[in-house]
Amino acid sequence: MRFIFRIVVIFVVLVVVAIAILLFMPGDRIARFAENQFETATGRSITIGGEVKTSIYPLLGVRTGPITIANAGWSKSGPLLQAEGLSIGVNLMSLFSGDVKIKKIEVIAPKILLEVAKDGRANWDMAKAGSGGQTAGQAAKIPAFSLGRALIKSGSLSFVDHASGSKYSLGDMDVDLRLPDFAGRGDLSLSARSNGQSVSLVTQVAKFGALLNGEISAMSTTVKAGGSTIKFNGKAGISPFAADGDLDANLADMAALFTAAGMKTPDLPKGMGRTAAVTGKITYAPEGSAHLRGGVIKLDHNVFSGGADLFPAKDRPLLKAQISAGALDFSTLAAGVDDAGKNVTTATGWPKDHIDVSGLAVVDADVTLVAKSIDLGTIKLDASSLKVKLDRSRAVFTLNQIKTYKGTITGQFVINGRGGLSVGGDLATKGISMQPLLKNLADYERLITVGDMRLKFLGVGNTMNAIMHSLSGSGSFKLDQGEILGLDLAGMLRNLDASYRGEGQKTVFDSISATFAMKNGVLTNDDLLFNAPFAKALGSGAIGIGKQTLDYRITPKVLAKADGSGGITVPVIISGTWSNPKFRPDLKALIDQQLADEKAALEAKLAAEKAAEKLRMEAKKAELEAKLAAKKAEALRRAQEKLSIELGAGESLEDAAKRKLEEEAKRGLEKLLGGN
C-alpha cells in the first residue's frame, strides 16, 4: 500500500510547476518546463510525449500524451513508470491564494515497477537536488496538497526484491484516492488481479499527510481476496512499514489467498486449515516480524487461543507459538479414513492414494500445545501436552504427556517430508485400557486388560501402502490380568476344535508378554508368553503388516491340575489375512508330540527296569558278601579257640598269633635266665 501512496504523490510536483503557468505557455513548452522542474525536484527525468492539451473550464487542467519516469540509477530493469497519459485538474482560484487544490489526477494504463536493491535502497525514494540536510537516497518530504480525487485506471504494478529474489505483480489495477485535506483523512481503494486472482483494498487514514511523510497514523484497512477478508483497525506507518492494532481475518477462501501470493495451495486435511479465522491484537515490526497476542485462531472447526510470533527468514518464515485449546478434531488425519469420513476396509490392503505433505514446507514452526482432548480418528486422546517443531518440512511431535484410554503416552512422533515422506517414532504407553483402544484401531473389542508397550518404528513411502510395507523397528508389550471374550481356549484344545464355544465363551489369563522386531513391513516374534490359571502358551511367528497377513503358531497347554501337572498340549496355527484369519490345530505337531511322549514313556520304562535290575544285583551281591563275612568270622573264632588267642581291638589273627609267640618266647627266656 505504501508503494501506491508514493506513486500517486509523484505527480503533485507536476501540478505545482506546470498548472500555474499553463495559461501563458503553449503545450509543448509546458511539457518541457514540467520535465525540467520534475527532474530538479526529484532527481529523476520524466518524458512527456505526444500533444499536451490545456483547459480552463470547468477546471484548470492539462492532459498529456505518454509519460515515462526514469528509474533509480542503480536499476537496470527499465522505467519506474510508463503511462499512456496523464490528466490533471486544479482549482484556479486556489492558485491565487498560494494553495494547491488538486481536483483530479488521472493516470491512464500505467506500468509501475517498484524495486528494492540488495543493499535495501528503494527506487521510489526520490531525493531533492540541492537539499542541504538530505543525504543521497533519503526520501524527500512530500509538500502539502489537497486532492479531490486521484485515479489510476487499468494499471499494472510489479515489485522485485533483489535481496531475497521475491517478485510480486498486480494487473488490471484501479486506484481511487481522495484527500480533501493533506493533514486530515485520506481514503484509498484499490482493486486488481494478482496471479489471476481478484484482490481489493479499502483504507481510511486519519492523518494521511503524516503517513506519507513517514509518521504513524491511525488507520483502518480491509483486504479481500476471493472469499477471504482481512480487517485491521489500529495505527500504522509506511516508511518503514509498521502496524499495531486489532486484527479480524476471515480466511474462508485459502485457495484465493495462496493464488494471490503466487504460492501453490497446500492440500491440507480437514481440521488443519482449509478455512481459517484469526482475531486478536497484532503488531508488525519494521524489521518484518509479526506478533499476535490474545489471539483466537480457528482452523476449520478447531479453535485455538494464545500468542504467536512470525519471524521472516531467507527460505520460509518461522512461527513460534504457545497455544491452548479445548476439544480438537483431526479425525481426517487417520489412515484409512477418506474425505467422507467412511472407514476403508482392510480386505484390499492399505490405501494407495498419494499423501501430500507439501504444506510442511510453507513455514518453520516451534509450537507448544495444551489441549483438553484430541480426536485423531482411530485414536482418541484426552488431556494432552505436546510440542511441535517443524524445520524444513520435517515435523517432530514431542509428546510430553498424553492421557488416553485411562493411561498415558510419552515419546516422539516424526513426519519427514524432505525429498519424499517418512514417518517414525519412539513411543511408550503405560496403563492403557486395551478394549477401547483396539476397538478404535481395529474394531476389535474382545480383549479386556490393561497394558504397557514400547515401540520404535520407521516407515518410508508416499502412500500408506508403501509406508506399511517398509516398516522397521522393534518393541515390546506386557498385558496384565484380563480376559478374552468369545474364545474358550481350554475347550477348544480339549475338543481339538478351533470353532468350539463353551459356556461363558471367554478365556481368563494372568498375563501376556512379548518382544518383537519389524523389518520390511513384517513383524516377527519368538517369545510370546501367555499365562492363565489352567493354561499356558508360547507363541512365535510372523505378522505381515504390509500385506496384512498372519503366519503364527501358538503352543498352549491346558493343565489338568492346579499344580501344573497333567493336561493336554495342542499347537494352534493362525494363518490367512487380517480380514479373514484362520485357526486350526497343528495335528502333525500333535502326533509328533504324542510319539515323542510315547518314546519318552518307553525310555522311562526301560530305564526303570534297568534301575530295578541293578538294585537286584546289588542286593544279591550284598547277600553273598554277608555270607562270606559270616564264614570268615566263624573260621576266625575256631582258630582262636585252637590257638587260645584273644584278639585285641582292631587286631588281626596274624597279629594276635605273632603277639602270643613273642609273649611265650619272652616268658621262656625269663625262666631260663632265672634258673641261672
Q: What is the pLDDT of residue 406?
A: 92
* Interval 310-316 mean pLDDT: 87
**Largest Cα–Cα distance in the chain?**
198
Grid cell 467422507 is found at 340
Q: CA geometry: angle at 321 spanning 355 and 375, to 5°?
A: 50
Residue 336 in this model has a pLDDT that exceeds 50: no
CA atoms of 343 and 507, how far apart (whole Å): 30
For residues 428-459, b (16+ Cβ closer than 10 Å) or e, as one string?
A: ebeebbbbebbebeeeeebbbbbbbbbbbbbb
CA atoms of 57 and 372, how far apart (whole Å): 72
Nearest to 447 by CA among 420, 490, 487, 395: 487
**Cβ–Cβ < 8 Å for 654, 640:** no
Cis ω before 58 (30° cut-off from 0): yes
Q: What is the pLDDT of residue 57?
A: 60
CA atoms of 536 and 531, how far apart (whole Å): 5
- Averaged pLDDT score across all residues of the chain: 81
| Helix (H) or strand (E) run with residue 616 in it | helix 587-643
CA atoms of 176 and 152, how far apart (whole Å): 7
Residue 289 in this model has a pLDDT that exceeds 90: yes
CA atoms of 160 and 122, how far apart (whole Å): 10
> What grid cell was written down for 387?
510440542
**Cβ–Cβ < 8 Å for 21, 33:** yes
Each residue's pLDDT tens digit, 454-507 = 999 999 999 999 999 999 999 999 999 988 887 666 666 555 555 555 555 777
Nearest to 39 by CA among 124, 128, 114: 128
Q: What is the pLDDT of residue 343?
A: 41
Secondary structure (DSSP) of 447-501: EE-EEEEEEEEEEE-SBHHHHHHH-EEEEEEEE-SEEEET--HHHHHHHT-TT--
Q: What are the distances in angstroms from CA 183 to CA 187, 217, 299? A: 13, 11, 41
Residue 481 has what DSSP assignment? Answer: S
Lowest mean pLDDT among 332-336, 421-425, 450-454: 332-336
* N residues, the chain: 676
Lowest mean pLDDT among 171-180, 424-433, 442-451, 583-592: 583-592
Percent of the chain whose predicted confidence (pLDDT) is above 90? 38
Q: What is the dihedral of CA 583, 429, 433, 329, to 10 degrees?
A: -110
CA atoms of 369 and 363, how far apart (whole Å): 17
Q: What is the pLDDT of residue 460?
A: 95
Each residue's pLDDT tens digit, 562-588 = 555 556 677 788 899 888 888 777 766
Each residue's pLDDT tens digit, 344-370 = 444 568 889 898 888 888 899 999 999
CA atoms of 185 and 177, how far apart (whole Å): 11
Backbone angles phi, psi at 385, to 5 degrees: -130, 115
Each residue's pLDDT tens digit, 208-265 = 888 888 889 999 999 999 999 999 999 998 878 899 999 999 999 988 988 888 888 8
Each residue's pLDDT tens digit, 110-152 = 999 999 998 888 888 775 433 444 444 444 566 677 778 888 8
Which carries the bigger pLDDT value, residue 443 or residue 75? 75
* Interval 311-318 mean pLDDT: 88
Residue 450 in this model has a pLDDT that exceeds 80: yes
Q: What is the pLDDT of residue 128?
A: 47
Q: What is the pLDDT of residue 338?
A: 41
Residue 426 in this model has a pLDDT that exceeds 70: yes
* Interval 621-647 mean pLDDT: 75
Which carries the bigger pLDDT value, residue 46 or residue 9? 46
Residue 599 in this model has a pLDDT that exceeds 80: no
Each residue's pLDDT tens digit, 166-224 = 888 899 999 999 988 888 999 999 999 999 899 999 999 999 888 888 889 999 999 99
Q: CA geometry: angle at 43 spanning 37 and 44, to 5°?
A: 85
| Cβ neighbours, 10 Å, residue 213 | 19
Reduced to 3 states (helix: H, G, I; strand: E, B; else coil), residue 134 is coil
pLDDT category of residue 1 using cuts at 50, 70 and 90:
very low
Each residue's pLDDT tens digit, 529-564 = 988 877 788 899 999 999 999 999 888 776 655 555
**Cβ–Cβ < 8 Å for 241, 287:** no
Radius of gyration of the chain (CA): 49
Grid cell 509523484 is found at 10
Checking phi first, is residue 303 left (phi over 0); if not, alpha (psi -120 to 50) or beta? beta
> What grid cell was written down for 645?
588267642
Secondary structure (DSSP) of 11-79: THHHHHHHGGGGGGS-HHHHHHHHHHHHHHHHS--EEE-S--EEE-SSSEEEE-S-EEE---TT--S--
Q: What is the pLDDT of residue 512?
A: 92
> What grid cell was written down for 221?
484497512
